[in-house]
Structure 1
Amino acid sequence: MHDLMPSKASLEQASDWLLDLQAEPARFEEFDHWLHASPDHLSAWAQVNRAWAAIDQPSSSAQWPQSAHVTPIKAPPRKWSILAAACVCIVALGATWLSKPDWRADFHTGTGETRVVQLDDGSQLTLAAQSAVNVDYRGDTRRVTLLSGEALFDVVHDASRPFQVDVDTVVVRVLGTSFDVARNAAGVRVDVREGAVGVNSNGTPYRLAAGQRLWLDANSRIANHSAVAPDEVATWVSGQQYFENATVLEVVEQLRRYQHGWIVIGNEALGQTRVTGLYDLRDTQRALHALASPIGATVKQYSPLLSVLQ
């Protein structure tokens, strides 16, 4: 199945064609040329068609152009760009599921789920929603690998056995303390609630004390230090999360971990708008409205599984 999953670029192009053919049906020949230029294009178009079928809301008899390899779909004339974006979201989530590390993790959580894990030495880790870890206590080092998501660590002191968290090329090493580690496609964040933490990223060492945060950007590899109130570290454990000068996209990415279905941001500029606030992870619709109101945005819910911030 994984070999048949189309590339992200092809999925985006297929979604664009959904929009373009609605506006300009005369471009069918150009579309047909694109469709048959690559098996990846055929697979992407089929995936987007199936995704559309999952959220189809019949309100029009209009049908899309087809080839011998493609089943026609009906498309409502309104809200098309949003629903086409949702198609890509659905397919992208399918691709993510095929490659996600949860199936090989020692411990993991699902959407909206947190989990407390007691380790053999008395240390404790708390997994945020959609997170996964492996644990290895063999040898002289207590090692946890954060495969996805975020975790809060409360580590029992043991000078003879350092506690280590591996996140790709980032290594967090302590003897005993309380700290939070989060990872996503953009980078890795380390927040320290108590004690001191040593971090090594691609051979560069950093030292953090309580009330300090380190952000390691995955693309630029630039490290950014900032302050964080110790009582604001891992507030997600209690069902709320505080964001300071964060982008709308950052907040939405966190809310997506707690909502079944999809949250779509209407445009890139809105996603990069900066916000500060405390958001309720237990009620994502309430959180979305709290996010939208101060910046003049609105939240439209097109189905129980699709919310759009615009």
Structure 2
Amino acid sequence: MHDAHLSRTVSAQSLEDAGQWLLDLQTQPERFEDFDRWLHSDDEHFEAWAQVNRTWDTLGKQPATTQRHWPRRARLPLLAAACVSALAVCATLALSPGWRADYSTGTAQTREVTLADGSRLTLAPQSAVNVRFNESQREVTLLQGEVFFDVVHDAKKPFEVRSEDAVIRVLGTAFDVARRTTGLSVEVRDGTVGVNGQYRLAAGQRVWIDRQSGLGTPSTVVPAEVAGWINGAQFFENVSVAQVVEQLDRYQRGWIVIQDPALANKRVTGLYDMRDTQRALQALVAPIGGEVRQYSPLLTVIGSKKTVAEK
């Protein structure tokens, strides 16, 4: 690949195109080959791509809620293409669940919160919750991401976790709740958890609630592996590559694009170090014929070896 770090002047059009590609690839990964052709069609495009990435990376060091869900436009002005538009920052703040949350985390950040009753929450990266405690209720709403709950027992005041997919009710227990793109997972380390009034989970049990159908799929899990992400490593069993990538994406700025849909749907089982996303991605896809390439610190592309081969 060309050296994209040489300092040189580039045209406003190239900067605008680079900014548009940075946004488009997040929602249209199937256009990666078009992007790759654009990138290699002119040496100036490499420098434009590098400049836009460096500027975006600078914005990425802002608080967590400024990093995702940027508004897309058909044609961005130069400043927006260079990712320094103050309006874009404000729009991101307004749209992000973390902006309205009582507690939230950013990329690769975890956070432990002790509630008024002594219960503890550990938030995974890019997670957000609201808390409502009063004389008659203990309630936490999971807005996004994943949280491990260690709940103090109180028979007179049940503890509830709510999300768009489920209502989880406990008295005192330790369990993990994760909102994914396609549904919600509940895993129990200790005690008993009720989910949607239909499932009663004991230690070592879990249930997946599919968002589209609303149906639950119970299974088992080793209790010690529940919320393993707190210590850096997370075990995945018979999940799609896309599900693992969705988790890893929370541990680095920018995006991980899966170019090959067939690869995204392949099922895997393994233990991955969430603190080293590039190494984890290599371990994830290499055994199934995939390859990982970084086009910048903000864009990692995964595909089969034939689809990501050098042009």
Q: Same fold (TM over 0.5)?
A: yes
- Matched with 1:284 is 277
SS of 2:251's equivalent?
A: coil
The 2-side partners of 1:99 and 1:176 are apart by 34
1:258 matched residue in structure 2? 251
Give the aligned partner of residue 16 of structure 2. none
* 2:74 alignment partner AA: W
Closer/same/farther in 2, CA of residues 124 and 45 from structure 1, 3 Å limit: same
Q: TM-score, normalised by structure 2?
A: 0.71
Residue 223 of structure 1: aligned partner: 216
Change (3 A) 1:169 1:209: same
Relative distance call for 1:247 and 1:105 in structure 2 (3 A) is same
For structure 1, list consecutive stretches of 5 or more residues without a partner in the other structure: 1-7, 24-42, 56-92
Q: TM-score, normalised by structure 1?
A: 0.71
Partner of 2:152: 156
Q: Does 1:295 align with 2:291?
A: no
Q: Which amino acid aligns with 2:227?
A: A
46, 66, 74: which one pairs with 1:45? 74
Counterpart position of 1:83: none
Q: Structure 2: 5+ residue runs without aligned partners?
A: 1-22, 39-71, 84-88, 304-311
Summarize the Cα distance change of 1:171–1:19 in structure 2 as closer, same or farther, 3 Å threshold: same
Secondary structure, in 3 states, of the residue corresponding to 1:257? helix
Amino acid at match of 1:268: P
Could you tell me which amino acid in structure 2 is paired with residue 45 of structure 1?
A
What CA RMSD, in Å, does the superposition of the two structures yield over aligned residues? 3.0
The letter for the 1-side match of 2:169 is R
- Corresponding residue pairs, total: 241
Q: Which structure would you say has the larger Rg? A: 1
Give the 5 Å matches for 1:108-257: 108-200=104-196, 205-257=198-250
Q: CA deviation at 1:96?
A: 6.7
CA distance in 1, matches of 2:139, 2:297: 40
- Pairs within 5 Å for 1:51-90: 53-54=81-82
Query: Within 2, Cα distance between the matches of 1:219 and 1:144?
Result: 23
- Alpha-carbon spacing, 1:228–1:51, altered in 2? closer, same or farther (3 Å): farther
Note closer, same or farther for the CA distance 1:169–1:292 as it changes in structure 2 (3 Å cut): closer
Q: Secondary structure at the match of 1:251?
A: helix
Q: Cα distance 1:147–1:274, how it changes in 2: closer, same or farther (>3 A)?
A: same
Higher relative contact order (CA 8 A, sep 6+): 2
Check 1:224–1:94 CA distance in 2 against 1; reply closer, same or farther (3 A cut). Answer: farther
Over the matched positions of the two proteins, sequence identity in percent amounts to 56
In the alignment, the residues of structure 1 paired with residue 219 and residue 90 of structure 2 have an alpha-carbon distance, to the nearest angstrom, of 36
Tell me the SS of whatever aligns to 2:214. Answer: coil
Checking the alignment, whether the CA contact within 8 Å between 2:165 and 2:211 is kept in structure 1 is: no
Query: Counterpart of 2:75 in structure 1: which amino acid?
Result: A
The Cα of 1:97 is off from its aligned counterpart by 5.7
- CA distance in 2 between counterparts of 1:51 and 1:193 reads 49
Q: Which runs of 4+ in 1 moved over 6 A?
A: 49-52, 93-96
Match of 1:61 in 2: none
- C-alpha distance in structure 2 between counterparts of 1:94 and 1:225, whole Å: 41
Q: Are the counterparts in 1 of residues 97 and 144 from structure 2 also a CA contact under 8 Å?
A: yes
1:191 & 1:209 partners in 2: Cα distance? 9
Provide, for residues 57-102 of structure 1, a one-character-per-residue CA deviation record: whole Å limited to 9, x for no partner.
Answer: xxxxxxxxxxxxxxxxxxxxxxxxxxxxxxxxxxxx9987642211
In the alignment, structure 1 residue 99 sits paired with structure 2 residue 85: no
**Deviation for aligned residue 1:183:** 0.7
Q: Distance in 1 between matches of 2:80 and 2:165?
A: 38
Counterpart Cα distance in 2 of 1:96 and 1:164: 29
C-alpha distance in structure 1 between counterparts of 2:78 and 2:299, whole Å:
16
1:167-190 residue CA offsets vs partner (Å, 9 max, x unmatched): 125110000000000112311110
